[in-house]
Amino acid sequence: MEEIQGHIYDYPKYYDLVYGSDWKAEYEFLLKVIDRYSKRTVKSLFEPACGTGRLMIKFAQSGFRVAGNDLNANAIDFCNDRLERHGYPRSAFVGDMSDFKLPKRADLAFNMINSFRHLPTEKSAESHFKCIANALNKDGLYVLGLHLTPLIGDRVEKESWPARRGNLAVISSLWSESIDIKNRNEKVGMSFDIYTPTKSYRIVDEMDYRIYTAKQMIKLLERVNLFQLEVAFDFVYDVDEPICIDDSVEDVVLILRKK
Which residues form the interface with ligand SAM (CB under 6 A)? 9, 19, 47, 49-51, 54, 69-72, 75, 96-98, 112-115, 118-119
Q: Which is nearer to ligand SAM, 34 or 97 (CB)?
A: 97
Closest contact distance (angstroms) between CB of 53 and ligand SAM is: 8
Closest contact distance (angstroms) between CB of 52 and ligand SAM is: 6
Closest contact distance (angstroms) between CB of 152 and ligand SAM is: 26
Closest contact distance (angstroms) between CB of 149 and ligand SAM is: 17
Q: Which is nearer to ligand SAM, 51 or 140 (CB)?
A: 51
Q: Which is nearer to ligand SAM, 97 or 256 (CB)?
A: 97
How many whole angstroms separate alpha carbon 209 and alpha carbon 178? 11
How many whole angstroms separate alpha carbon 158 and alpha carbon 173? 7
Closest contact distance (angstroms) between CB of 94 and ligand SAM is: 9
Integer angstrom CA distances of residue 224 from 78, 123, 127, 230: 33, 10, 9, 16
Alpha-carbon Rg for the chain, nearest whole angstrom, is: 18
Closest contact distance (angstroms) between CB of 254 and ligand SAM is: 15
Q: Which is nearer to ligand SAM, 124 or 216 (CB)?
A: 124
Q: Which is nearer to ligand SAM, 19 or 142 (CB)?
A: 19
Cα-Cα-Cα-Cα torsion 72, 76, 77, 79, nearest 10 degrees, comes to: 140
Q: Which is nearer to ligand SAM, 44 or 72 (CB)?
A: 72
Chain residue at closest Cβ approach to ligand SAM: 51
How many whole angstroms separate alpha carbon 229 and alpha carbon 124? 20
Q: Which is nearer to ligand SAM, 16 or 193 (CB)?
A: 16
Closest contact distance (angstroms) between CB of 40 and ligand SAM is: 23
